[in-house]
Structure 1
Amino acid sequence: MAEGRRSGAAGGVDAVGRAVFGSREGELTSGGRATGRFVRLLPALLIIGGLVFDALSPPNFSAVPLFVAAPLIAAPFFSRSRTVRTGIASVVSVTVMRLSDGTSTQVVPVIEMVTVLTAAALALVINGVVRRGNEQLASARVIAETAMRAVLPTPAERIGGLQVAARYEAAQADEFVGGDLYAVADTPYGVRVVVGDVRGKGLDAVEAVAVIIGAFREAAEQERSLEGVAQRLERALAREETRRYGLDAMEGFITAVLAEIPPGAATVRLVNRGHPEPILLHADGALEVLAPSVPALPLGMDLGVWPDRADAWEMPPGATLLAFTDGLSEARDANGVFYDPATRLRGRIFPGPEELLSALTDDVRLHTGGHATDDMALIAVGRPAEGQPVRRTTVKIVGRGDQDAAH
């Protein structure tokens, strides 16, 4: 009988190899590479282990729990066809074992086969439920990504004679909804920029982002001063507070920096409302951290009257203004050390804003080991050097899907 069980095990191993290992269809939907490979092999390993255990153990020991577990483990990770093949492999293995030892008509072996058949059928039900859930999740992600792209469209490569590049980097690879924002507008008063960060995440944060960007686009065209634009944003948040009966529904407050680069003037003007200080990179590798002369509270913090004050800096040809959210400046490495963009960028020269952002995002990934904890929005506006030709580039939007926009 032991010889019969060993021959049955050998035949069962052969069947498992063809049924489970024979195709790579139905890759895992989650997990890292090492974990993915292990889970991909686990159902087959359970079946093979069950065959070996049954061949080497006394007759009163049963490996049926291993055959039951194999299709149940395959169900949430594999395609329907692969789940079916795993269930068939389990049923065939038990059938071959019991036929080989001549016990297929006894009560206990029959119960074992019925148990494995039931587990295989249940695995198909679980697989269907999981696949429907994954489809709904994918649909929700598409909706979220579409909403973010509508709220934060990629700006043109050149606006008002300036070179422009922008990125939205999600902390999680599949996360598209966040509270970081940017916008650029070519106005009669020059190119105006806003970069901001809403406290919080989710759809409420996206709605707050939409309010700020909508107010900015209108105010940037109409207000003669950058201070006036900031006050319009403040009033827009106040109206939203009245409509919602409390600003907490709008995530509370928004840090923001507003920039203006007037036409025909080699200057940049800033209004900073509690936001990380932008950086001005010069063509020779030198840089300036543009700290406000008078600190101001974020937008939406109703703690009294705080008149806005714009500061101005020289922005000669070849210089690039870099503005970002705290997802960049508060990115940490494994030792908890914050990322310092000024230190990292000092002395470096970049052909243009797009190359600057590419190098910066790559450097942040190296610093954090790919484990960022907060979204970040970045925008770079460069004044072309004298005689610099217009270049055509491909803009890569990282963290919001692999979409290339060629300009």
Structure 2
Amino acid sequence: MWKRLKRRGRHAEGGTRSQRFVRMLPALMILGGLVFDLLTPPIFTAIPLFVAAPLIAAPFFSLSSTICIGIASMVAVTVLRLYSNSLPLAVPLIELLTLATVSVLAVVINAVVRRGNEQLASARVIAETAMRAVLPKPSDRIGGLHVAARYEAAQADEFVGGDLFAVADTPQGVRLVVGDVRGKGLDAVESVAVAIGAFREAAEQERSLEGVAQRLERALAREGARGGLDAVEGFITAVLAEIPSGVSRVRIVNRGHPEPILLHPDGAVEVLGPTVPALPLGMDLGVWPDRADEWDLPAGTTLLLYTDGLSEARNAAGVFYEPAARLRGRIFPGPEELLSALTDDVRLHTGGETTDDMALLAVVRPAEGQPDRRRTVKIVGLETM
């Protein structure tokens, strides 16, 4: 947490300095033009500096500020020419005309930039709202389990992606899915919506986890037949899990997805590989029956599911991130702390240059009668619950 806050502080400080410099730059250009023109012979002119001031202001300042800077530049040139008794001459008049033309152009540029920023902001809000509607964050307590989920986009301010997760409390127990759609953008979001909708329905109705996987397969096949999904690349790697109520076991069906990890209370790590490998969902290359594998899930154990944005993250030397090795021997208070540590660690591993989205889902079976823990963290006078 402390390292993340320091990084954010450094980024915020750097951004503040850059903004402050940009805000000062037009005034510095006008001031520099005045000084240059007063201290140099008449054959030298600072008109380029006065012309640059409104152009620099146009993409960064408000409309009123851009107009004021343009007027200030024209007033400065007028005062200089009056001071040198050269205003009635042709060259100073041409300079003023040029400056007036550039100031009008700066106002036009400012209007275009503001309109583009408004459209971009609107598109981001729509994308974020759509993604949250398709991929809502699950509650932190479901079926007696402690749950945490996280979606980390590869690019800042990016909300549309092809990774998915969902948790459902059903009569058969808590059922989970984490998947990765082939492709990016709106087509990937369409596949995510189909998969999540099919999972929510199937998780409630199907008696077995294998049946849930087959329902997802049929849903993708129907969507592909209607032309809604790419017939060749419209597949999804996914891992489905089921934790029955009152039973310290977890059942998993893996369809070509990175293997889940069990984190034991003593720091031991167990990779849950499938007994029989299977193809991703929607890859119509034959029909094979799904097979669920079972593992013990004692109290205090954490089940971690993730997409390949985590396991295929590489550092500058091309070395892949290995979540099992990085987590071995580490103990976390809860699933939220685990996901925070993971996202921090993978960004440290890659130097912040991630190239793929990352979905994480962590589930903890608490000990009987274990109370909810709330910790108070104090960092340089900052207190959060």
Which residue does the alignment assign to 1:110? 93
Partner SS, residue 180 of structure 2: strand
Contact 1:204 1:250 in 2 (8 A): no
Please state how far the C-alpha of 1:390 moved relative to its aligned partner.
2.8
Q: After the TM superposition, which residues 229-308 of structure 1 pair with which residues of structure 2 at under 5 Å, given as runs?
A: 229-244=212-227, 247-248=229-230, 252-308=234-290
Question: Does 1:214 find its partner at 2:200?
Answer: no
Contact 2:224 2:234 in 1 (8 A): no
Contact 2:260 2:304 in 1 (8 A): yes
Q: Which amino acid aligns with 1:276?
A: P
Please state how far the C-alpha of 1:387 moved relative to its aligned partner.
3.2
Distance 2:278 2:17 in 1: 49
Distance 1:333 1:38 in 2: 33
Please state how far the C-alpha of 1:35 moved relative to its aligned partner.
4.8
Q: Percent identity?
A: 78
Which residue does the alignment assign to 1:315? 297
Deviating more after overlay: 93-102 vs 313-322 = 93-102
Distance 1:338 1:34 in 2: 35
Please state how far the C-alpha of 1:365 moved relative to its aligned partner.
2.3
Structure 1 residues 354-383: Cα deviation after superposition (integer angstroms, max 9, x where no partner): 111111112222222322211111110110
Question: Does 1:364 find its partner at 2:334?
Answer: no
Distance 2:39 2:367 in 1: 79
Distance 1:127 1:393 in 2: 48
Please state how far the C-alpha of 1:89 moved relative to its aligned partner.
2.4
Q: Which amino acid aligns with 2:304?
A: L
Distance 1:136 1:187 in 2: 42
Contact 2:87 2:93 in 1 (8 A): yes
Which residue does the alignment assign to 2:63? 80
Contact 2:176 2:241 in 1 (8 A): yes
Question: Does 1:149 find its partner at 2:132?
Answer: yes
Distance 1:85 1:364 in 2: 47
Q: Which amino acid aligns with 1:351?
A: P
Partner SS, residue 264 of structure 1: coil
Deviating more after overlay: 164-173 vs 212-221 = 164-173
When normalised by structure 1's length, the TM-score is 0.85
Which residue does the alignment assign to 2:141? 158
Which residue does the alignment assign to 2:23? 40
Please state how far the C-alpha of 1:298 moved relative to its aligned partner.
1.0
Q: After the TM superposition, which residues 345-364 of structure 1 pair with which residues of structure 2 at under 5 Å, given as runs?
A: 345-364=327-346
Q: Which amino acid aligns with 1:204?
A: D
Distance 1:233 1:293 in 2: 21
Q: Which amino acid aligns with 1:95?
A: T
Please state how far the C-alpha of 1:37 moved relative to its aligned partner.
4.6
Q: RMSD of the alignment, in Å?
A: 2.1
Which residue does the alignment assign to 2:48? 65
**Which segments of 5 or more consecutive residues in structure 1 lack a partner in the other structure?**
1-30, 395-403
Distance 2:196 2:375 in 1: 26
Distance 1:337 1:39 in 2: 39
Please state how far the C-alpha of 1:212 moved relative to its aligned partner.
0.1
Distance 2:256 2:179 in 1: 10
Which residue does the alignment assign to 1:202? 185
Q: Structure 1 residues 306 and 150, CA, compared in 2 at 3 Å: closer, same or farther? A: same
Partner SS, residue 47 of structure 1: helix
Q: Which amino acid aligns with 2:293?
A: D
Q: Which amino acid aligns with 1:71?
A: P
Which residue does the alignment assign to 2:175? 192
Contact 1:208 1:251 in 2 (8 A): no
Give 2:80's match in structure 1, choosing from 90, 94, 97: 97
Work out the number of aligned pairs and report it.
365
Structure 1 residues 64-91: Cα deviation after superposition (integer angstroms, max 9, x where no partner): 1221121112111122232223212211
Which residue does the alignment assign to 1:183? 166
Which residue does the alignment assign to 1:384? 366
Which residue does the alignment assign to 1:23? none
